């Protein structure tokens, strides 16, 4: 796998490249500007010297100026600086010329130097001519005198070249220093700026070492608020990581709760099934012993059949809960809840004639979308609980109300109510622990099934505290 450069290294390289580019641009502009400035000044001097030489050859001398024996010989004329080259050409032929060094010594021009000066056109702007030898590059200008003579004057470029060279060297040294300082400053700044991001990465790495496969898991690792507030970018990453860890911790807690509920459900189911199986085996052994009376055997068979029926009912309810857990969706149709409740109350009145059964179905349509058989099972469970766990003469009421797009079904009774420590909708929870199975006690799955069905239909069920037992179901209206 190719190892990619770090963000710190990339930013340091970008910063150094920008500083280098800026240094190059500033240096080039500075050197070119200085060179143009000095060259312009030198050209002004060259033009002035060439014009003065042309005037002297034409006989135009300032008052009081000495008259040389040869007026064409301008070498070492007053006002000339050391190194000034002067040549006079008549009829395109070299007449006289030379130059004076810093010690005042006169030097003649070589043939090559004469030819180079002769090629300079008269009257044009100064141009650079390489005179070679001890002279090197010169700025040279030619001016025509009044008697058809041409005077060529040149000044050395050495000072201009030296000044621009020194400036170029300074620019290079300063540029290199700026680049090094930029690299150092960018490295320090990015190291400080990325320190919170490294702590965020360290937090994420710590989470990877936490065993998440099983058991109760608590993720204590979080990004500090100080790091979140450091920069906007680090804050976004840190806040997102904290939200992710919260979500993962919540999901793990829900998973653990689900696993515990499953283990508890399996244990309770095993216990619930073991009891009737024990009874069935006992009655079967009694029936199979020697000398058993026919009447006793028939009674044992009836008890075995009752326990088998109870086991079948328990298994059916457990399968239904499993179906609801595995298939949270269903085939929906419009269900008239008023008709369904009326039928359930009529069946409950038949099963429990010693109770008082009342209905308030309202005048508005109570249509919900769902499975009619599952909803009927919910109502039957609530009415059956009221019948089984309240004394004779208890009044049980089923009331339907339609409000704000919801259909509310309330089942109440004026019996002893639910125990305070009872988790009514937990599986295998019984409101009357003293009631034996032989007396018609339930399996403890009815309210759990009711809650699963109601939640599958997008509704809620609750048992608010109060006199008697009250169950409130809210379903969205179709």
Domain check: are 11 and 121 in the same one? yes
Domain check: are 29 and 147 in the same one? yes
Res. 73: pLDDT tops 50? yes
Report the pLDDT value the prediction gives residue 70, as an integer from 0 to 100. Answer: 54
Specify the pTM: 0.47
More confident call, 419 vs 109: 109
* Across 20-29, 246-255, 426-435, least confident range: 426-435
Where does a domain end: 327, 353, 373?
A: 327
Domain that holds residue 140: 7-164
Q: Write out the DSSP string of 136-173.
A: -EEEEEEEE-TTSEEEEEEEESHHHHHHHHHHHHHHHH
- Is-contact 153 84, C-beta < 8 A? yes
Number of folded domains in the chain? 3
In a domain, 1, yes or no: no
Closest by Cα among 379, 410, 412 to 395:
412
Domain check: are 334 and 365 in the same one? yes
Alpha-carbon gap, residue 331 to 43, rounded angstroms? 100
Report the pLDDT value the prediction gives residue 106, as an integer from 0 to 100. Answer: 87
CATH number of the domain bearing residue 421: 3.30.565.10
Phi-psi region of 73 (alpha: psi -120 to 50; beta: other; left: phi over 0): beta
Domain check: are 321 and 400 in the same one? no
- Is-contact 167 36, C-beta < 8 A? no
For residue range 140-187, list pLDDT tens digits in order.
999 988 777 888 999 999 889 899 999 999 989 988 898 888 888 888
Where does a domain end: 108, 141, 164?
A: 164
Closest by Cα among 445, 447, 452, 451 to 268:
445
In a domain, 84, yes or no: yes
Report the pLDDT value the prediction gives residue 435, as an integer from 0 to 100. Answer: 38
Domain check: are 400 and 355 in the same one? yes
Res. 422: pLDDT tops 60? no
Domain check: are 317 and 333 in the same one? no
Domain check: are 313 and 346 in the same one? no
Report the pLDDT value the prediction gives residue 200, as an integer from 0 to 100. Answer: 76
Q: Please name the residue that has the structure tokens 């500075």.
A: 30
Alpha-carbon gap, residue 99 to 163, rounded angstroms? 23
Give the confidence band of 19 by pLDDT, cuts at 50, 70, 90: confident
3-state helix, strand, coil in the chain (%, to 5): 50, 15, 30
Alpha-carbon gap, residue 137 to 106, rounded angstroms? 19
Res. 210: pLDDT tops 80? no
Where does a domain end: 327, 361, 386?
A: 327
In a domain, 177, yes or no: no
For the chain, the average pLDDT equals 80
Report the pLDDT value the prediction gives residue 438, as an integer from 0 to 100. Answer: 41
Domain check: are 295 and 437 in the same one? no
In a domain, 203, yes or no: no
Domain check: are 111 and 144 in the same one? yes
Alpha-carbon gap, residue 20 to 13, rounded angstroms? 10
Domain check: are 254 and 231 in the same one? yes
Alpha-carbon gap, residue 51 to 77, rounded angstroms? 13
Domain check: are 306 and 251 in the same one? yes
Report the pLDDT value the prediction gives residue 412, as an integer from 0 to 100. Answer: 92
In a domain, 372, yes or no: yes
In a domain, 378, yes or no: yes
In a domain, 472, yes or no: yes
- Region 217-237 average pLDDT: 73
Domain check: are 470 and 334 in the same one? yes
In a domain, 233, yes or no: yes
Report the pLDDT value the prediction gives residue 343, as an integer from 0 to 100. Answer: 92
């Amino acid at each position: 796998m190719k190892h990619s450069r770090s963000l710190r290294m990339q930013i340091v390289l970008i910063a150094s490249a920008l500083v280098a580019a800026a240094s190059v641009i500033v240096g080039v502009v500075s050197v070119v500007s200085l060179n143009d400035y000095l060259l312009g000044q030198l050209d002004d001097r060259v033009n002035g010297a060439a014009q003065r030489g042309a005037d002297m050859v034409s006989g135009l001398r300032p008052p009081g100026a000495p008259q040389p024996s040869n007026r064409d010989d301008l070498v070492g004329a007053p006002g000339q600086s050391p190194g000034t080259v002067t040549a006079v050409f008549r009829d395109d032929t070299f007449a006289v010329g030379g130059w004076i060094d810093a010690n005042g010594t006169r030097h003649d021009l070589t043939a090559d130097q004469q030819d180079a000066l002769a090629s300079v056109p008269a009257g044009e702007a100064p141009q650079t001519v390489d005179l070679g030898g001890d002279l090197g590059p010169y700025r040279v200008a030619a001016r025509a005198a009044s008697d058809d003579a041409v005077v060529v004057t040149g000044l050395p470029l050495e000072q201009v070249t030296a000044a621009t060279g020194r400036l170029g060297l300074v620019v290079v040294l300063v540029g290199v220093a700026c680049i090094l300082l930029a690299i150092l400053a960018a490295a320090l700044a990015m190291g400080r700026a990325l320190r919170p991001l490294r702590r965020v990465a360290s937090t994420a790495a710590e989470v990877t070492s936490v065993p998440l496969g099983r058991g109760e898991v608590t993720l204590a690792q979080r990004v500090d608020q100080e790091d979140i507030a450091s920069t906007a970018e680090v804050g976004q990453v840190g806040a997102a990581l904290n939200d992710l860890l919260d979500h993962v911790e919540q999901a793990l807690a829900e998973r653990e709760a689900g696993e515990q509920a499953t283990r508890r459900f399996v244990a309770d189911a095993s216990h619930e099934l073991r009891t009737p199986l024990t009874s069935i085996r006992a009655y079967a052994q009694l029936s199979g012993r020697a000398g058993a009376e026919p009447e006793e055997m028939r009674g044992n068979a009836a008890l075995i059949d009752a326990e088998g029926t109870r086991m079948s009912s328990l298994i059916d309810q457990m399968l239904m809960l499993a179906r609801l857990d595995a298939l949270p969706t269903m085939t929906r149709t419009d269900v008239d809840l008023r008709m369904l409740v009326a039928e359930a109350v009529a069946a409950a009145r038949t099963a429990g004639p010693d109770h008082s059964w009342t209905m308030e179905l309202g005048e508005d349509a109570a249509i919900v979308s769902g499975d009619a058989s599952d909803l009927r099972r919910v109502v039957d469970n609530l009415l059956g609980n009221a019948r089984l766990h309240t004394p004779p003469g208890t009044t049980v009421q089923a009331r339907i109300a339609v409000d704000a797009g919801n259909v509310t079904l309330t089942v109440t009774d004026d019996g002893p109510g639910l125990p305070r420590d009872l988790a009514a909708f937990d599986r295998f929870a019984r409101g009357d622990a003293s009631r034996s199975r032989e007396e018609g006690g339930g399996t403890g799955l009815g309210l759990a099934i009711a809650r699963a069905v109601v939640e599958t239909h997008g509704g809620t069920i609750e048992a608010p505290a109060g006199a008697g037992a009250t169950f409130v179901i809210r379903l969205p209206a179709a």
